[in-house]
Structure 1
Amino acid sequence: MSTEPVTRLTVGYLATPSGDDGVALAVAIAGATGASIDLVCVVHPVEYDGTPGLAGYQERLENQAAEWLADGAGRIPEGIDKRAIVTVHDSFTGGLVEVAEQSGASMIVVGGTGDGLLRRHTLGTISTELLHSSPLPVALAPRGYADRATPYVDMVTVAVPVRTSSDNPLPFAVGLARQAQLDLRLLSLVSSDDPTRDDTERTARDRRIAAAEQLLAATRESVGTELDVDSLVADGPTLDEALDKLPWDEGDIVAVGSGHLGRPNRVFLGSTAARILRWTTAPVVVTPRS
């Protein structure tokens, strides 16, 4: 069970608090993995048609983007290899993916929007597009992540899928944990709104929990012994209530798989992953559908 090491991060940057959140998450991941950081600002092309005032406007836009990137790069500590890249593209998302693929990036990192709850995830246009099209894992920083004292990563929690048809983020999570020497937490969610029903609600709940524990035990065996592995079954009347019970620490990062409706080799945010994103205060990495 392995995956390619995380060696280069492409960070979509805007001169906003959410842009700073994305940089902070990239710094935390790079600090754990030794990865390089490409800080990218995408500028829309401007066609000069002779309109007064448009001459040189493209150059001014690119110069402004370079200034923003210089400010963002100042948030990256010495010792982390970094580049600032201005690229011109019709789409911010398309330009970001293009740079990431050309540079051989392992992951795309972005912040959310600035109008959500503090320490929670709120998706904007760019993050939503990435979560439904990216060919690379997408790491999302919660709002206010840059305001934490010293963002860091020391544990990866992976949501282990119950159904074999679900895409499994476990290889990515195990690879990240091994590379960065992180603790690994295996998570299974159990709720009464699960479609499997049984004789009585109490019996059904007990059997679902037992099945989840059995799944986690088998998963733990498959991981090997070189990692510090914990496992947790979170249960509740609904998935939201199960997720609300979960403890999250400052150094946590969560890995989730893509939904089954997505295209192969693309990220697609499924319903369970979307709920995890809604409830966790930790950064989340969504892996592409295999």
Structure 2
Amino acid sequence: MSTDPTPRLAVGYLATPSGLDGIALAVVIARATGAAIDLICVVRPVGHDGQPGLREYQERLENQAAQWLADGAEHIPPGIETRTVVAVDDSFADGLIGMAQRSKAAMIVVGGADDGLLRRHSLGTVSTGLLHSSPLPVALAPRGYSDNAAAQLDSITVAVSSKPGRSDPLPFAVAMAENAGLDLRLLSLVSLDSPFDDETSRAARELQVATARALLDKTRATVTGDLEVDVLVADGATLDEALDNLPWDDGDVVAIGSGHLGAARRVFLGSTAARILRWTTAPVIVVPRSG
């Protein structure tokens, strides 16, 4: 999270159910961290070249966006500092990133697509763009998140990779846990992905579990301070099965690193992160790859 006394959340908003999901997640994070909310709607520019009719049409677009933002802001409880911003850009994702950087936001928050499964993540055009270019952490709300009026944050789960050189979201997760008073859960995923179910395969899988647990214990020892830290090895015959076996509570949020193929200091949704996103019912924060 930002070192600014009042960190800011840049929330991309459209007048859709997914827009309300993004607001709901931003409210939950703001309550936990004391952050302020910038509610941002991006409209495309109209190339009017001084033509009065087209210039008026641009104004109508921006006024409509301002009205949508005013309506959306009504879903933010009193006590959370909020401002609404209309940005003009050819790309919603690029416009949102630009405004977030100018306001020195700590995080970008959005909902997913409106056609996904309830309580699951489904990426739309905006979220997909952010997950392949954002220099800031991107928080994603699952579909229908705004329906949970009692939503709050209690713990943050961070996926710890056993592969050297991979992006490490642990520093971000520790900072957010300390800032928001959250419990911290270290997660390792184990799957042999073998077509065989024999003694040799089972022994190999048990060795993987033991190695993963040793890594988590070693990682836990590096976490200083008074945080409550738990470790969990999610085990399954396949990665999808391991993910499906994970327990999620209403107060969970998941922090995952960016894929190693992405640019430094940018978010890039790798294959494992994409599968975590597919299976979890908790909000997910994707952290940029370290420089």
Q: TM-score range by the shorter chain?
A: over 0.9
Correspondence list, 1:171-250, <5 A: 171-193=171-193, 200-250=200-250
Structure 1 counterpart of 2:168 = 168
Structure 1: which 5+ residue stretches go unaligned? Answer: none
What aligned pairs does 1:102-121 form with structure 2 within 5 A after superposition?
A: 102-121=102-121
- Aligned partners of 1:50, 1:94: CA distance in 2, in Å? 25
Offset at residue 193 of structure 1 (A): 2.3
The 1-side partners of 2:227 and 2:98 are apart by 35
TM-score (norm. length: structure 1): 0.95
Output the CA distance in 2 between the equivalents of 1:257 and 1:29: 19
Q: CA RMSD for the aligned pairs?
A: 1.8
User: Normalising by structure 2, what TM-score?
Assistant: 0.95
The answer on 1:96 being equivalent to 2:96 is yes
Superposition map of 1:17-36 within 5 A? 17-36=17-36
Equivalent in the alignment of 2:261:
261
- The secondary structure found in structure 1 opposite 2:39 is strand
CA distance in 2 between counterparts of 1:77 and 1:281 reads: 24
Report the alpha carbon displacement of residue 221 of structure 1 after superposing the two structures with TM: 0.6
SS in structure 2 at match of 1:281: coil
- Aligned partner of 2:186: which letter? L
Alignment deviations for residues 32-82 of structure 1 (CA, whole Å, 9 cap, x no partner): 000010000001111225879535001111100000000111111111011
| Aligned-pair CA distance for 1:224 | 2.1
**d(CA) in 1 for partners of 2:224, 2:55:** 62
The answer to whether residue 70 in structure 2 is matched with residue 76 in structure 1 is: no
Deviates more, 1:15-24 or 1:41-50: 41-50
**Code of the aligned partner of 2:134:** S
Alignment map for 1:152-167 (pairs within 5 Å) = 152-167=152-167
Secondary structure class of the residue paired with 1:178: helix
Give, in whole Å, the separation in 2 of the partners of 1:134 and 1:49. Answer: 31
Structure 1 residue 203 displacement after superposition: 1.3
Which AA in structure 1 matches 2:152? Y
Give the counterpart letter for 1:102 in structure 2.
R
> Is the Cα contact below 8 Å between 2:2 and 2:106 reproduced in 1?
no
Q: In the aligned structure 1, how far is the partner of 2:22 from the partner of 2:124? A: 13
Task: Tell me, in whole angstroms, the C-alpha distance in 1 between the residues paired with 2:148 and 2:34.
Answer: 21
Task: Quote the Cα distance in structure 1 between the aligned partners of 2:117 and 2:25.
Answer: 18
Distance 1:4 1:159, change over 3 A: farther
Cα shift at 1:4: 4.6
Alpha-carbon distance in structure 2 between the residues aligned to 1:150 and 1:127: 25
Q: CA separation in 2, counterparts of 1:231 and 1:143?
A: 28
Work out the CA distance in 1 between the residues paired with 2:152 and 2:105: 20
Distance 1:139 1:170 in 2: 15
Residue deviations 1:184-207, cap 9 Å, x none?
Answer: 11100000128xxxx911110111
Indicate the residue corresponding to 1:128 in structure 2. 128
How far residue 129 of structure 1 moved from its aligned partner, in angstroms, is: 0.7
Deviations 1:140-165 (A, max 9, x none): 00000001122211110000111121
Q: Distance in 2 between matches of 1:52 and 1:285?
A: 44
Checking the alignment, whether the CA contact within 8 Å between 1:4 and 1:175 is kept in structure 2 is: no
State how far apart, in whole Å, the 2-side matches of 1:30 and 1:91 are. 26
* Distance in structure 1 (CA, Å) of the matches to 2:233 and 2:167: 19
**Partners of 1:236 and 1:80 in 2: CA distance:** 42
- 1:223 partner SS: coil
- Check the 8 A contact 2:2/2:105 in 1, yes or no: no
Query: C-alpha distance in 1, partners of 2:216/2:115?
Result: 37
List gaps (5 residues or longer) in structure 2.
Answer: none
Q: CA deviation at 1:278?
A: 0.2
1:3 and 1:171 in contact (8 A); partners too: no
**For structure 1, which segment, 266-275 or 216-225, has the greater mean C-alpha deviation from structure 2 after superposition?**
216-225
Closer, same or farther: CA 157–237 of 1 in aligned 2, 3 Å: same
Kindly tell me the number of residue pairs found equivalent between the two proteins.
286
Cα deviation digits, residues 116-153 of structure 1 (max 9, x gap): 00000000011001000000000000000001122211
The residue identity in structure 1 corresponding to 2:166 is S
Contact 1:3 1:175 in 2 (8 A): no
